[in-house]
Amino acid sequence: MGRNEYATRVLREYRCLPGTCGRILRADRCLALALHDRGVELSIVEDAFVLAVARRSFRSDACTLEPIRSLHYLLPLIEELLNTPPEPGYLRYLRYKLNKGGVHLEA
């Protein structure tokens, strides 16, 4: 996948995430391109989306959280997934729980 196609896909999926403002900043595009340049697989970025939405959705104060305003919010989760991959099946389980709760992710 080319650099621009990677960034476009990351940004499209990010913009549609529950809890985001739904807009893309110039810094978001720069980060998406930088992730491609670093060789971060698209699946890792998509898994970070799942992790972020799950952690926010399952909080007791989820309805009072401020919206995610930048892709940079997800950078620590991407690093977490790169440094400490979750147990096999964990992200599939989170997707299932989110879907069961009415939260549907594009990826």
Average pLDDT of the segment spanning 9-36: 95
Using one digit for the tens of pLDDT, what is the confidence trace for 25-72? 999 999 999 999 999 999 999 999 999 999 998 888 877 889 999 999
Residue 106 confidence (pLDDT): 67
Mean pLDDT of 95-100: 91
b/e code 62-91 from CB counts within 10 Å (16+ = b): eeeeeebebbebbeebbeebeeeeeeeeeb
